[in-house]
Structure 1
């Protein structure tokens, strides 16, 4: 057994020991003992209701009133029963039901019937699940339910009697106490940070919290300081984390202002850091790049969040602590993953996509990563995290990271990254001619004795992206081992091979056209799948350049704009020739 295997095994056993310890503590702090404890410290009233920034859909209100609940792609008709009496339903459906995020849809309808329906459903939850439920008392579910109940409390409580008001506040307080007592045992990363946000939000929204409010603010400061990096990124390296955190942090910040409370320094600093990085990850069409767990972009929520950005300047060009680089030229943007593997405890959603990149021109997405499937399917999750699902190099179709396998501990511990690129060197040059990034990673060094180096240069006018990929040997290389450079293309492109298969033509919906070539290399156009579309999975294409590690360890390639679209006087799209647009073969 080699040293790498021993290190991975030791990490697994540390994870197992930590998991057992946390489960034990959680049972002690939030299990039967917690449920049997008398609870009389009920706040007298709610002082404020933090805003819910997420977008509502009032058309869902009629379905909910009719007993039709469509959550996480699963439709359940209750047939006159309370949805909280149903158990044999998909777990993701139950999580969305118990999170109460759908209260915003009922509130959006702004009707007396919707308000009464909301009160009945809240009463049903308190009756059937208020003390115990396997799904309903998971930490992330409790967190979202607290935030939802607080935000929509004016809507729920209006026209309600005193007894309901008292029961509502008591149940809310019990849930807050549960989070407060079990927060150290919750999953690290966004889950724990959002839990601390929920507790802090509740403590400043309810009367008479005093000591608990001070404790919750200190805890929130601690988590923000620990989890938000100096460049504004999150320790998980997932761009989606910025959206989820800011969507909850901004209303809490506003609640501090409304209550006349002193703003914690960490809260101000975190918002000021995260806002520019959120813009850093955006392409010209407003979508965020698909790195390390980012799926489809909730464009409406991102727009709402960015409306709170006072600076609104140009996005930064690099995020060294988060491990990302950005190249810009005219309307073109290139975003590159140049970071090492996140810490073991927050790598459960991280991808093996080191040195992968995404490329866009204006609102046209050209090169993408496959992204994350909205479907709760272990197979698709495994596919999306593999190196082959990213626009980078693979060796022998293996990933540059090793994930915890499903057996025997995967179901218990998830699938964190056990090993992967640990040394990622990055060099950047910017001049009038354009911007250049040179980076390398050692993710394939231990198994294949090669270092992947990638050199990207975007011209100042954004019309040419040049790349050189090198697989540099650092030991004996097997002659039978092959590499593959993958460039996953956005499904909005029409693609075709040119010049007897030595180049690829890509035509955008706007009429803009790009050409790819890799002189002297074996090139093919193969099927791929785009997982992050808002309408579900979509078939697309990928450009694949293959070769032997010994015969051609260095490959040069280029994306070049050959035509741009403009609007004619008649309102139709015409081609503005940069070069002669090649005919499709």
Structure 2
């Protein structure tokens, strides 16, 4: 391990201990009472929940079947809070109480009574002391859910239950308040601040905490939402997670006749265009830095609040992404630095990777992150090999914390080394758009810089690429055999056939549109791959791969070309072009 790696890990450890010390300094009854001034004796308003509710799920919950994160648990007359959770994601969903919205959607006497019974069970259950119950992200989700679904739970409740409900809610709010410093940086910490802001607005006698919560919210939004509207973690999914809470929060301020803080309004205005930036033609988000399957219902809800409805911007310089729209063809490229170490627990090593789509059909993707069984796939999904880019010597362009003990201490596996310089130049040329980008993620280990040139035709019919591995000016290649691979992961809906000349692959899209991948100077292989971001879980797919040695072949030229004819005609034309003419 290099000195730089050790310094980064030491800095992360020191920061983690400092956060934990500050959080523990606020523990205890006396501190809790100081941190929640005022009497929380009644609710004044219930915020709106923008998440889609399914009334049919209410019947499942009433029958004792709880389906979360791809896992099903049946209670069989036992308390659901007494059962062993099948996964951490399932437990987090249960203890976050977001499922109350499904009971509210049914809106019957039975579902209202069921909601009260389940909440009462949780209030009196020892499961409240589980570690997962006190996780910052779980508690913040539970506070927001209990506030927004209060009309369902408290509508027909007696005074005794009302007081117990408020006491349980107030305790979670106090724990969130003194645990704010211990919350993982990034989305989790911002969600804690959002939950505290909701609590100060929705509970009575909280005038002083409204000012404090609003100030903290403004500080976090200015720090985490970049000037171009992206989140500092560089995960497109963070935009959806945050906006689904920030938009109702803006409404809650208005309902209390309190002006929303300018930082909140500005953050929403900047984030909304980013939703369109990351969308492909089919509505799915590009798969960068932990993005999973696109929640289409939430996305449709959020886009209804987008007043601009304009064409996505071409460049997001602060977040580090580029987008080229050419006719019906869309190219989205990661051309930015990895996020800071303290915000990189879920970041991926996908520098210079890209995704390509045509109309409603996605062609080239990254593998993405699975929405279920994330721990099983996390190491692979974060690797460079899971992205459509160049992989040098089977190693990733970023290195992550690997020791299990260190992962537990740091609450994840942050990046400890990666590209320090990423350059990109975009220019309009005759007939198209050209993007030239490079990163030095392989410089320290192999003495090489990866440079990628992407040229898109104006009509979107052709994407030409060139990938190069070059030593830095005045430097030299380290090692005698530097193998590298160019990987292009294909969407599972694409039917790929390797051509007989071994220099190309014919791609047939679901709408029968035909594209051809060509690398006339290199041998092309089709290898197995996996698409992790499917709505129904991971799916098998294939990837186009070109293997080379950096000392022998330092650059590879390739292209994706859309054909104007059918697959059969395209294949026949290529066959005729290969056959030599017979002598007369």
Deviations 1:39-93, CA, capped at 9 Å, x for gaps: 9954342222111111122222112112222222332222212212335653332
Preserved contact between residue 396 and residue 482 of structure 1 (Cα < 8 Å) = yes
CA distance in 1, matches of 2:429, 2:572: 29
1:235 to 232, 237, 251: 232
1:331 to 328, 332, 337: 328
CA distance in 1, matches of 2:127, 2:208: 25
CA distance in 2, matches of 1:328, 1:531: 25
| Deviating more after overlay: 254-263 vs 430-439 | 430-439
Preserved contact between residue 517 and residue 559 of structure 1 (Cα < 8 Å) = yes
Which residue of structure 2 aligns with residue 148 of structure 1? 145
| Deviating more after overlay: 406-415 vs 265-274 | 406-415
Preserved contact between residue 440 and residue 452 of structure 1 (Cα < 8 Å) = yes
Preserved contact between residue 122 and residue 128 of structure 2 (Cα < 8 Å) = no
Does 2:308 align with 1:311? yes
What value does the CA root-mean-square deviation take over the aligned residues?
A: 2.3
Which residue of structure 2 aligns with residue 554 of structure 1? 555
Which residue of structure 1 aligns with residue 268 of structure 2? 271
Does 2:363 align with 1:362? no
Which residue of structure 2 aligns with residue 516 of structure 1? 517
The equivalences for 1:238-253 within 5 A come to 238-253=235-250
Which residue of structure 1 aligns with residue 259 of structure 2? 262
Under a length normalisation based on structure 1, what TM-score does the superposition of the two structures give? 0.93
| Deviating more after overlay: 436-445 vs 56-65 | 56-65
Deviations 1:236-293, CA, capped at 9 Å, x for gaps: 0000000001000000001112222112111111011001111100000000000001
Does 2:190 align with 1:193? yes
Deviations 1:493-542, CA, capped at 9 Å, x for gaps: 11101242211000001010100101111211111111110111111111
Residue 433 (structure 1) shift: 2.2
| Deviating more after overlay: 401-410 vs 526-535 | 401-410
Runs of 5+ consecutive residues of structure 1 not aligned to the other structure:
565-573
Runs of 5+ consecutive residues of structure 2 not aligned to the other structure:
579-584
The equivalences for 1:61-210 within 5 A come to 61-87=58-84, 89-129=86-126, 132-210=129-207
CA distance in 2, matches of 1:254, 1:412: 38
| Deviating more after overlay: 67-76 vs 330-339 | 67-76
Sort the Cα spacing of 1:27 and 1:351 in 2 relative to 1 into closer, same or farther, 3 A. Answer: same
Which residue of structure 1 aligns with residue 425 of structure 2? 427
Preserved contact between residue 39 and residue 204 of structure 2 (Cα < 8 Å) = no
CA distance in 1, matches of 2:382, 2:35: 46
| Deviating more after overlay: 485-494 vs 14-23 | 14-23
Which residue of structure 2 aligns with residue 296 of structure 1? 293
What secondary structure sits across from 2:66 in the alignment?
Answer: strand
Under a length normalisation based on structure 2, what TM-score does the superposition of the two structures give? 0.94
Deviations 1:124-174, CA, capped at 9 Å, x for gaps: 111125963321111111100011111111111111112222222222222
Sort the Cα spacing of 1:42 and 1:578 in 2 relative to 1 into closer, same or farther, 3 A. Answer: farther
Which residue of structure 2 aligns with residue 569 of structure 1? none
Residue 422 (structure 1) shift: 1.0
Deviations 1:383-406, CA, capped at 9 Å, x for gaps: 000000000001111000010003
CA distance in 1, matches of 2:50, 2:99: 13
Aligned residues: 573
Sort the Cα spacing of 1:64 and 1:30 in 2 relative to 1 into closer, same or farther, 3 A. Answer: farther
Does 2:497 align with 1:496? yes
Residue 368 (structure 1) shift: 0.2
Deviations 1:364-391, CA, capped at 9 Å, x for gaps: 1000000002233434100000000000
CA distance in 2, matches of 1:145, 1:583: 62
Which residue of structure 2 aligns with residue 55 of structure 1? 52
CA distance in 1, matches of 2:361, 2:203: 48
The equivalences for 1:461-540 within 5 A come to 461-474=459-472, 475-477=475-477, 478-540=479-541
Which residue of structure 2 aligns with residue 436 of structure 1? 434
Preserved contact between residue 502 and residue 523 of structure 2 (Cα < 8 Å) = no
CA distance in 2, matches of 1:204, 1:35: 19
Which residue of structure 2 aligns with residue 220 of structure 1? 217
Preserved contact between residue 563 and residue 576 of structure 1 (Cα < 8 Å) = no
Which residue of structure 2 aligns with residue 457 of structure 1? 455
Sort the Cα spacing of 1:85 and 1:33 in 2 relative to 1 into closer, same or farther, 3 A. Answer: farther
CA distance in 1, matches of 2:443, 2:567: 46
Which residue of structure 2 aligns with residue 571 of structure 1? none
CA distance in 2, matches of 1:326, 1:298: 22
